[in-house]
Chain A
Amino acid sequence: MQNPATDDFILTTKNLTKEFKGFVAVNDVSLNVRRGEIHALIGPNGAGKTTCFNLLTKFLEPTRGAIHFNGVDITHEKSAQIARRGVVRSFQISAVFPHLTVLENVRIALQRNLGTSFHFWKSERTLDVLNERAMALLGDVGLTEYAKTITVEMPYGRKRALEIATTLALEPELMLLDEPTQGMGHEDVDRVMQLIKKVSANRTILMVEHNMKVVAGISDTITVLARGAVLSEGNYAKVAADPLVIEAYMGTEANEAEAA
């Protein structure tokens, strides 16, 4: 069945490269995401983290390189197909359906397995069978009392939680979270961090994150990208002590000091 070498790694990329008219946004990145871990992708602004996400989910077409999920080559599959394989992503800007209710948001994801999504002659009441599962998911992220709220009226932190609930509805094997705590206040950050930790049971999470508290707090492995290439990889202690990483984050200051 599965190649033993890929058994440990749920997602691997080989020499993944993306060029935009001569500008190399992602350069020869070979990622290995270990099954069951929370894997963080960090790096300074413009390091290519989000581009990398877009390549993995095929929102962008890689220039070179290969992507394997569970040992299967998914380099040439379409975004929706990859999602159906169990790789579901979130977006940097909260990806909710603002004018649907919170319950409907989650139900959209659950609808996929119902197989009636093209049935325009059926009443939407036929979707009520999904309500129980949807409410359970909302309960998991602490949104039970918001179920009937129109999503746009919720505070930002709650929208991010809803996004996670919607993603979880698909029971993805691999969740890709793009800056899940971006733009949040302290309390929200803590709540979302706990939430990610909680939902990471039985699945793998790859996340782009800027908040070092979150990265240090919950990730098992960290990959540092700089200028599109992998700079360092390992657990937090190892990465934080890596002189290359320190230079990438503090580099400009150090250079300036030298120049002066």
Chain B
Amino acid sequence: MTMPKIHFGYLGLFVALLFAPFFVYPVLVMKVMCFALFACAFNLLLGYTGLLSFGHAVFLGTGAYVTGHVLKEWGWPTELGLLAGTLSASVLGLLIGALAIRRQGIYFAMVTLALAQMVYFLFVQSTFTGGEDGLQGIPRGTLLGVVDLADDQSLYYLVLAICVGAFWLIHRTIHSPFGQILKAVRENEARVVSLGFDVAKYKLVAFVLSATLAGLAGATKVLVFKFATLTDAHWHASGEVVLMTLLGGMGTAFGPVVGAGVIISLQSELADKVGSLVTVIMGGIFVVCVLAFRRGIVGEASALYQRIAGTKDIH
């Protein structure tokens, strides 16, 4: 019933994004899109599988570093660079996931955090990451050797295509036979086991998917900013993505996009006005979110809509 309306909403947003670079600074919109993708990837785990990973920045960072390195040092074409960054995050996701899914709840969160911190310190020490300096001046290259991506507008449409494609994949995953099992695991894990499913395998596939998409977000982000630094892999970024997802609405397809949009725009608006107070403001927002609207912006909005419309369908 409400599905066509939701589709219209997506279509409207897509059209708005198509014309956005003519009105807004494209790099800011691209940054929002990268973090929206990161948050959507994270939400696939938290919102649809019930797994709180507290080390997801490590996949963002891995995607960024690997793409940055192969583009800058090895001179790979852009497409291969993106692919390399994304797949590296998948492999790391497989390793970390296989260890972490053995534990549940807070222990899962702690294991992911601990493993992510280990990788973070590897990044600090390694030479291929440039250590504290990071990788600077990474070339964006060209798309298929034709389109010069040095131009922000051209890059913008590549980033838009990547994000739309990834969002579609996430949407499809949520509404797939696999997604059904994930939701069931989130709702009642023991029951899924008792029905004969090897829950661990489903969780692992979800974890690797999520890590892959987080890596894609990192790889894309490198193209936008032309640098990769430790900030991407730092646990602050892992915390930020939790905030974005909760603020926007965990377990809603579109919530993380809204959350990322709000957080990133606030950060860039406030950065030169209040300086380091930004962190305090973010903390305040988080407290208000947890106390007043637990379902997040999108979650509360759709609940309100359903109360007004008097329907009980959930999409």
Residue A27 is within 8 A (CB to CB) of chain B in the complex? no
Residue A99 is within 8 A (CB to CB) of chain B in the complex? yes
**B178 contacts which of A84, A119, A153 (Cβ < 8 Å)?**
A119
Residue A20 is within 8 A (CB to CB) of chain B in the complex? no
Interface contact B179-A89, CB-CB below 8 Å: no
Residue B312 is within 8 A (CB to CB) of chain A in the complex? yes
**B177 contacts which of A59, A90, A100, A127 (Cβ < 8 Å)?**
A127
Interface contact A80-B177, CB-CB below 8 Å: no
Roughly how many angstroms separate A221 CA and B169 CA in the complex, as a whole number?
A: 53
Interface contact B191-A84, CB-CB below 8 Å: no
Interface contact A170-B195, CB-CB below 8 Å: yes
Roughly how many angstroms separate A114 CA and B176 CA in the complex, as a whole number?
A: 13
Interface contact B180-A127, CB-CB below 8 Å: yes
Interface contact B190-A95, CB-CB below 8 Å: yes
Interface contact A80-B198, CB-CB below 8 Å: yes
Roughly how many angstroms separate A104 CA and B183 CA in the complex, as a whole number?
A: 10
Interface contact B176-A119, CB-CB below 8 Å: yes
Given A90-B194, A108-B192, A112-B197: 17 more A-B contacts, CB < 8 Å: A59-B193, A79-B193, A88-B194, A88-B195, A95-B190, A97-B187, A99-B183, A99-B187, A99-B314, A107-B180, A108-B181, A117-B178, A119-B177, A119-B178, A120-B176, A123-B172, A170-B196
Q: Point out which of A79, A120, A126, A153 has the most chain B C-beta atoms below 10 A from its C-beta.
A: A120
Q: Please give, as numbers and ranges, the residues of chain A lying within 8 Å of B173 by CB-CB distance.
A: 120-121
> In which size bucket is the chain B interface?
20 to 34
Roughly how many angstroms separate A255 CA and B192 CA in the complex, as a whole number?
A: 45
What DSSP secondary structure best describes chain B's contact surface? helix
Interface contact B180-A89, CB-CB below 8 Å: no
Interface contact A118-B194, CB-CB below 8 Å: no
Interface contact A95-B176, CB-CB below 8 Å: no
Q: Please give, as numbers and ranges, the residues of chain B lying within 8 Å of A121 by CB-CB distance.
A: 169, 172-173, 176
**B195 contacts which of A112, A114, A119, A126 (Cβ < 8 Å)?**
A112
Q: Please give, as numbers and ranges, the residues of chain A lying within 8 Å of B199 by CB-CB distance.
A: 80
Contact bitstring B138-180, A, C-beta under 8 A = 1, else 0: 0000000000000000000000000000000100110111111
Roughly how many angstroms separate A79 CA and B173 CA in the complex, as a whole number?
A: 26
Residue B202 is within 8 A (CB to CB) of chain A in the complex? yes
Q: Please give, as numbers and ranges, the residues of chain A lying within 8 Å of B257 by CB-CB distance.
A: none
Q: Point out which of A91, A96, A109, A127 has the most chain B C-beta atoms below 10 A from its C-beta.
A: A109
> Can you name 17 A-B residue pairings with CB atoms under 8 Å?
A78-B198, A80-B193, A81-B196, A83-B194, A89-B194, A95-B188, A96-B187, A97-B184, A97-B191, A98-B187, A100-B180, A100-B187, A108-B181, A108-B192, A112-B195, A117-B177, A127-B180
Residue B205 is within 8 A (CB to CB) of chain A in the complex? yes
Say how far A102's CB is from chain B's closest CB, in angstroms. Answer: 13
Interface contact B205-A120, CB-CB below 8 Å: yes
Residue A57 is within 8 A (CB to CB) of chain B in the complex? yes
Q: Please give, as numbers and ranges, the residues of chain A lying within 8 Å of B197 by CB-CB distance.
A: 80, 112, 117
**A111 contacts which of B177, B205, B209, B312 (Cβ < 8 Å)?**
B177
Roughly how many angstroms separate A81 CA and B188 CA in the complex, as a whole number?
A: 18
Q: Point out which of A95, A114, A116 has the most chain B C-beta atoms below 10 A from its C-beta.
A: A95
Nearest residue (CB) in A for B197 is A80
Say how far A186's CB is from chain B's closest CB, in angstroms. Answer: 27
CB proximity to B under 8 Å, residues A54-84: 57, 59, 78-81, 83-84
Q: A112-B196, A118-B205 are in contact. Are A96 and B177 (CB under 8 A)?
A: no
Closest 10 CB pairs of A and B: A83-B196, A97-B187, A120-B178, A95-B191, A120-B173, A84-B196, A116-B177, A124-B175, A108-B184, A120-B176
Roughly how many angstroms separate A121 CA and B202 CA in the complex, as a whole number?
A: 14
Interface contact A150-B193, CB-CB below 8 Å: no
Roughly how many angstroms separate A59 CA and B192 CA in the complex, as a whole number?
A: 12
Q: Please give, as numbers and ranges, the residues of chain A lying within 8 Å of B209 by CB-CB distance.
A: 120
Roughly how many angstroms separate A90 CA and B176 CA in the complex, as a whole number?
A: 26
Say how far A238's CB is from chain B's closest CB, in angstroms. Answer: 32
Q: Please give, as numbers and ranges, the residues of chain A lying within 8 Å of B202 by CB-CB distance.
A: 117-118
Say how far B171's CB is from chain A's closest CB, in angstroms. Answer: 10
**A126 contacts which of B177, B184, B191 (Cβ < 8 Å)?**
B177
Q: Point out which of A80, A122, A127 has the most chain B C-beta atoms below 10 A from its C-beta.
A: A80
Interface contact A79-B194, CB-CB below 8 Å: yes
Roughly how many angstroms separate A111 CA and B173 CA in the complex, as a whole number?
A: 16
Nearest residue (CB) in A for B195 is A109
Q: Please give, as numbers and ranges, the residues of chain B lying within 8 Å of A104 by CB-CB distance.
A: 180
Q: Please give, as numbers and ranges, the residues of chain A lying within 8 Å of B198 by CB-CB distance.
A: 78, 80
Say how far A57's CB is from chain B's closest CB, in angstroms. Answer: 7
Roughly how many angstroms separate A117 CA and B192 CA in the complex, as a whole number?
A: 12
Roughly how many angstroms separate A126 CA and B199 CA in the complex, as a whole number?
A: 21
Interface contact A124-B176, CB-CB below 8 Å: yes
Interface contact A111-B181, CB-CB below 8 Å: yes
Nearest residue (CB) in B for A176 is B194
Residue A13 is within 8 A (CB to CB) of chain B in the complex? no
**B194 contacts which of A91, A120, A127 (Cβ < 8 Å)?**
A91
CB proximity to B under 8 Å, residues A202-259: none
